[in-house]
Chain A
Amino acid sequence: MSYYDVDSILTDAQKLPCTFELEVPGLGILEGNPGEDIKPGTRIDLPLWLGEMLSIGARLGTSRLVTLDMPPALSERVMNALKADPRTVDLRALAPHFYSLSERILELFEEEEMVDVLTETFKRRAAEISDHAHNPRGAVGDGVDFLRGLDETERQLFRAAHDRAKEMRVWSGEAKKK
């Protein structure tokens, strides 16, 4: 998570559902009504970095501006699907940076069970990714659907495993350098 890490910046931009607790004059532009005020109880999707900042009042003891909700990508429904079979869930459709997002969310919410579910999910999928990466047919064949559903972290893993296997084949003379 370095300052210049593009994935970290993109994670910051993912939307998080927030509910406003106070009336904010002139911030209606967030809702699409420029010049209007925001009423308490309004629900808006805000980027992660903004929602995090606005909700921070809760920690300082003052009344907070917004309350955060779980993003749809980490809802109960998704968790149940992951518990049932991690490999059939299309993580990319839920959130392109699924694991980075859940990391940040887990810093904000105390969700012990979610940690377990995500750990198990990642392990099961990592084994699958490795198998696909070492398959000489690569990303064509039966695995297409699964590989299309990988989030960014998993794609990097796939790339690391795949490139390494390919370099090995090139070195040992089994494959031609392209």
Chain B
Amino acid sequence: MAFPLPRGITPSEIAFLAEMEMVTVVPRQRLEGLELLGGPVEPLVPPRPSTPREYYPPAWLHPDPLSLILEVESQHQDYKNAFSPPLPLPGQPSIRDNGLAPKARPQYTPDGDRYFPSPPFLPQNTAQMTISSRDPPALPFHWVEIGNMLLEAASDDLVEADQVRRLLKDLREIRLSKMRAGVDALDAAAVGGGGVALTGVGAMEVGEERGFLSGVVDNLRKIGASKEQARREQMAEQRANGGYNGTQDEEEEEDYMEF
């Protein structure tokens, strides 16, 4: 059509959004604190050279968790057509502590107000002091973008950067092919029924498949429009006649609620 820009959001725009995510930096030079629009930046003080390095990359950006996720995605029976589950929401109990009450960990603003952080201010992509293996590994929402940018800018600080790069690529491919396989299930979405579950899919992956999937759904809807129309007319007719008993009524009612 005549509109010159591609529909949807381009990869560089998605990467721009991902830049809101918090990462850890170790300063090499001294810098006074800055008052920026997004909030104050604390003064940067380089650590003493003698201090041993005790930072580790984000929990998910290691070869081990990534190969575990890759294995789950490709081998596990339950995840044949699904994506590995996303990180638990803040304040939700993680899968490991079954039955315990949800622990919401509040934080405090400089003025002392209590708040619960939400993305992008969750420390999903910051460096950690220790390698904790309490929670099962999960990919954050911006995993493609953050992974790519960290590999580009800080590959020296990652553990086995080459392997991480390879694993990320494999993961992306297997998840993309799953999303494309979802086209088979889409029929139902067009004529009333199920759909494709995209739980756990990252921003970049959604952005990449958006044009194709929405095109397919739209066209299936157009092809099925006349059938859908006929179905509705038939239902309206039955409703008007009122010639059925109570149990059928309920079924019809439920059916109608789908739209």
A-side residues, CB < 8 A to B, are 4-6, 99, 102-103, 106-107, 110-112, 115, 118-120, 122-123, 126-127, 130-131, 133-134, 153, 156-157, 160-161, 163-165, 167-168, 170-173
The answer, among B1, B187, B230, for a CB contact under 8 Å with A5, is B1
Residue B133 CB within 8 A of the other chain: no
B227 touches A112 (CB 8 A): yes
Query: Known: A160-B212, A164-B208. Is A130-B180 also a contact (CB below 8 A)?
Result: yes
A134 touches B223 (CB 8 A): no
A99 touches B223 (CB 8 A): yes
A103 touches B223 (CB 8 A): yes
Residues of B in contact with A, size category = 35 or more
- Chain B residues contacting A110 (CB-CB under 8 Å) are 226, 230
A157 touches B220 (CB 8 A): no
Residue B152 CB within 8 A of the other chain: yes
B-side residues, CB < 8 A to A, are 1-2, 6-8, 10-12, 15, 148, 152, 176, 180-181, 183-184, 186-187, 190-191, 204, 207-212, 215-216, 219-220, 222-227, 230
B225 touches A106 (CB 8 A): yes
Query: Known: A5-B1, A172-B148. Is A119-B187 also a contact (CB below 8 A)?
Result: yes
- Chain A residues contacting B186 (CB-CB under 8 Å) are 123
The interface centre, meaning the residue of B209, B216, B230 with most chain A CB atoms within 10 A of its CB, is: B216
B224 touches A119 (CB 8 A): yes
12 more A-B contacts (CB under 8 A) besides A106-B227, A123-B220?
A6-B1, A115-B224, A115-B226, A122-B219, A127-B181, A130-B183, A134-B176, A157-B212, A164-B209, A167-B10, A168-B11, A168-B208
CB-CB nearest 8 A-B residue pairs: A160-B211, A171-B11, A106-B226, A161-B212, A115-B227, A157-B215, A130-B180, A126-B216
The answer, among B1, B184, B210, B223, for a CB contact under 8 Å with A115, is B223
- Chain A residues contacting B211 (CB-CB under 8 Å) are 160-161, 163-164
- Chain B residues contacting A133 (CB-CB under 8 Å) are 212
The interface centre, meaning the residue of B187, B210, B223 with most chain A CB atoms within 10 A of its CB, is: B223
Dominant secondary structure at the A interface? helix
A165 touches B187 (CB 8 A): no
Listed by A's residue number, 6 A-B pairs whose Cβ atoms lie within 8 Å are A99-B222, A103-B222, A115-B227, A130-B180, A164-B208, A165-B208
A130 touches B224 (CB 8 A): no
The answer, among A103, A127, A163, A172, for a CB contact under 8 Å with B225, is A103
B227 touches A126 (CB 8 A): no
A102 touches B223 (CB 8 A): yes
Bound-complex Cα distance A115 to B229 (A): 12
Nearest CB in chain B: distance from A79 CB, A:
13
Bound-complex Cα distance A167 to B9 (A): 11
Query: Known: A160-B211, A168-B11, A173-B152. Is A119-B190 also a contact (CB below 8 A)?
Result: yes
- Chain B residues contacting A4 (CB-CB under 8 Å) are 1-2
The interface centre, meaning the residue of B6, B207, B209, B211 with most chain A CB atoms within 10 A of its CB, is: B211
Nearest CB in chain B: distance from A166 CB, A:
10
Nearest CB in chain B: distance from A173 CB, A:
7
Bound-complex Cα distance A173 to B151 (A): 12
- Chain A residues contacting B223 (CB-CB under 8 Å) are 99, 102-103, 106, 115, 118-119, 122
A164 touches B2 (CB 8 A): no
B176 touches A112 (CB 8 A): no
- Chain B residues contacting A123 (CB-CB under 8 Å) are 183-184, 186-187, 216, 220
The residue in chain A whose Cβ has the minimal distance to the Cβ of B144 is: A172
Query: Known: A102-B223, A123-B183. Is A156-B215 also a contact (CB below 8 A)?
Result: yes
- Chain B residues contacting A126 (CB-CB under 8 Å) are 183, 216
Nearest CB in chain B: distance from A13 CB, A:
18
- Chain A residues contacting B2 (CB-CB under 8 Å) are 4
- Chain B residues contacting A153 (CB-CB under 8 Å) are 219
Bound-complex Cα distance A163 to B215 (A): 14
The answer, among A107, A127, A160, for a CB contact under 8 Å with B184, is A127
